[in-house]
Structure 1
Amino acid sequence: MAGVLNLIVRRLLMLIPLMIGITLFVFIIMRLSPVNSAVAALGDGASPDAIAKFNADHGLDKPAVIQYFVFLGNLVHGDLGTTLALGKPVSDIIATALPLTLQLTIYGVLIALVIALVLGIVAALFRGRWPDQLIRIVSMAGISIPSFWLAILLIQQFALRLDWFANAGYINPSESLSGFFRTMTLPALSLAIPVGCQLARIVRTSMVEELDRDYVRTAVGAGLPPRVVVGRNVLRNALVNPLTVLGLRIGYLLGGTIIIEAIFTLPGMGTQVMQAVQTNDTNLAQGIIIVIAVCFVIVNLIVDILYMFANPRLRGGH
């Protein structure tokens, strides 16, 4: 247990330079952008005096180093600046959009886990036989299909033809749980199927490796039912490796929401990024990118901690 706590503390300490590096990278990228913040906010017809006043009011006339430290100081206090188009706090827009994106991501992760476990376990238990071959083909197809194309296919079949789900819009689960599932299932499936199929292959490989170990043959030979051996030992040990991959795949899901939210017209972070790009709103884009990056880092930290508890060697402090 002491070994796990030490590793957790080290991971937390590593977050400090990582977070600073993320903010610095995003700040530099935004400053290299050809977009002029003053022109984007005031319009192409703005006078030089108005542009100079805007730059002075927002600290854009100061050296880049000073701008960064001011930006970092504001960020520590939760101030992400104001949008250039509307003059609204970026944090307010993110506070509205982020919950939807997180809901979509979590829903997609749950579906991906179900797909991965069902396909991976069945393929491992029937390895070399027709279910294994069929699942292998299905997994390859799921991995190969781009999420945006899969979204269009799902809309055509399950929204327009069968009318089982909605093809656009969003209903908060606090208002209607059935409405939430009707509007969010297809977007979540679009994100989850490629990830679930990829994880299924990893689950299958890990399961096969565990099934070939000596302790499994010993337990079965001792009279334990195979389902007990698989459920209590094999599956638990086999999920350690897929768990490490899951953290990276959650980052993929977060990034994939940009296109999927645009296709399904969901007012999440992805839609806000698209609007920021269309209106040349560098402040909004900068704030959203930082928040998404921080979410990705936190998710990977959580997965690392879960991996530590799932790995017996780390639990033992070795």
Structure 2
Amino acid sequence: MLTVLSMIARRLLTLVPLLLGITLFVFGIMQFSPIDPALSVLGDQATPAQIAAFKAANGLDDPFPLRYLHFLGDLLHGNLGMTFPPSVPVATKISTALPLTVQLTLLGVAGALVIALGLGITAAVYRDRWPDQVMRFVSMAGIAMPSFWLALLLIQELAVRRGLFPTGGYVNPADSPTQWLRSMTLPALALAIPVGCSLARIVRTSMVEELDKDYVRTAVGAGLPPRVVIGRNVLRNALVNPLTVLGLRIGYLIGGTVIIEAIFSLPGMGTQIMSAVQQNDTALAQGTVLTIALGFVVVNLVVDIAYLFANPRLRGGH
């Protein structure tokens, strides 16, 4: 246990330079972008005197290191700046958009796990037989389909032709859980299918390696039903490697929500980014991108910690 705690502490310590690097990278890109915040706020008709006064009032003429330090200080106090007129705190915009993106990501992860376990376990148990070949073909097809193209296919088939789901829009779960689930099903599937199919191949490989080990043959030879051996031992041991890959795939899901939310007209973080780009709102773009990047780091930290607890060799200090 002490070994695991020390490894968690080391993971947390490595976050400090990583987070600083992320903030510096995002801040630097926004600061050196061709968009002039003064012109975006004041308009093209602003005089040089008005532009100079705006930059002096907002510290835009300060050296880059000083601006970055001010940005870090504001960030520690939860201040991400103000959007361009109408002026609204960026943190307020993010607080309303982030829950939807989290909901969509969690649904995507859940769907990806169901797909990965279903395809991977079936392919491993029936390896080199026709179910394995079918599962391989399905997983390859799922990997080859981009999320945005898959989203359009789902809308065309399940929303437009069959009318089973809405083509877009969002319903708050507090208003109607059923309608919320219907509005989120197609976006979640568009994210989950490519990720689930790629994870299925890893699950299959790990399952096959475990099924070939001596303890499995011994347990089956002792009279234990194969489904019990697979459920209690093989699956638990085989999921250690896919768990590490899941963290990177969650990052893919978070990034994929930007396009998926735009396709399905969902007012999440992706929609905020698109709005910020269209309106040249550097503060909003900076805040949303930084939030997504920090979320990716936190998710990977959680997955790393889960991996430490899932791997018995690490728990034993070996």
Shared fold, TM over 0.5: yes
Match of 1:292 in 2: 292
Match of 1:73 in 2: 73
Match of 2:83 in 1: 83
Match of 1:92 in 2: 92
Relative to the length of structure 2, the TM-score reads: 0.99
Match of 2:206 in 1: 206
Counterpart of 2:21 in structure 1: which amino acid?
G
Structure 2 gaps of 5+ residues are: none
* Contact 1:243–1:307 (8 Å) recurs in 2: yes
Counterpart of 1:280 in structure 2: which amino acid?
N
CA RMSD of aligned residues (A): 0.7
- 1 CA distance for matches of 2:54 and 2:111? 48
- 2 CA distance for matches of 1:284 and 1:102? 18
Q: Deviations over 1:163-196 (max 9, x none)?
A: 1111110011111110111100000000000000
- 2 CA distance for matches of 1:153 and 1:106? 22
Q: Deviations over 1:241-272 (max 9, x none)?
A: 00000000000000000100000000000000
- 2 CA distance for matches of 1:63 and 1:246? 41
Q: Deviations over 1:268-289 (max 9, x none)?
A: 0000000101111111111111
Match of 2:115 in 1: 115
Counterpart of 1:234 in structure 2: which amino acid?
V
- 2 CA distance for matches of 1:124 and 1:176? 40
Q: Match of 1:175, SS?
A: coil
1:111-150 equivalences under 5 Å are 111-150=111-150
- 2 CA distance for matches of 1:262 and 1:226? 46
Counterpart of 2:280 in structure 1: which amino acid?
N
- 2 CA distance for matches of 1:177 and 1:116? 26
Match of 1:25 in 2: 25
Displacement of 1:54: 1.2
Displacement of 1:58: 1.1
* Contact 1:90–1:284 (8 Å) recurs in 2: yes
Tell me if 1:38 matches 2:38: yes
- 2 CA distance for matches of 1:170 and 1:19? 32
Match of 1:239 in 2: 239
Match of 1:3 in 2: 3
Q: Match of 1:166, SS?
A: coil
Match of 1:195 in 2: 195
Displacement of 1:9: 0.7
* Contact 1:40–1:85 (8 Å) recurs in 2: no
What is the number of equivalent residue pairs in this alignment?
A: 318
Displacement of 1:293: 0.6
Match of 1:13 in 2: 13
- 2 CA distance for matches of 1:31 and 1:55? 13
Match of 1:53 in 2: 53
- 2 CA distance for matches of 1:55 and 1:108? 43
Match of 2:162 in 1: 162
Q: Deviations over 1:59-117 (max 9, x none)?
A: 10111110000000000111001112421110000000000000000000000000000
Q: Percent identity?
A: 68
Counterpart of 1:304 in structure 2: which amino acid?
D
Q: Match of 1:167, SS?
A: coil
Displacement of 1:42: 1.1
- 1 CA distance for matches of 2:114 and 2:302? 20
- 1 CA distance for matches of 2:174 and 2:3? 42
Question: Stretches of 4+ moved more than 2 A in 1?
Answer: none
Displacement of 1:317: 2.0
- 2 CA distance for matches of 1:123 and 1:268? 36
Structure 1 gaps of 5+ residues are: none
- 1 CA distance for matches of 2:184 and 2:81? 31
- 1 CA distance for matches of 2:53 and 2:125? 70
Tell me if 1:269 matches 2:263: no
Q: Match of 2:45, SS?
A: coil
Q: Match of 2:196, SS?
A: helix
Relative to the length of structure 1, the TM-score reads: 0.99
- 2 CA distance for matches of 1:214 and 1:58? 68
- 1 CA distance for matches of 2:57 and 2:247? 41
Displacement of 1:50: 1.3
Counterpart of 1:261 in structure 2: which amino acid?
E
Match of 1:103 in 2: 103
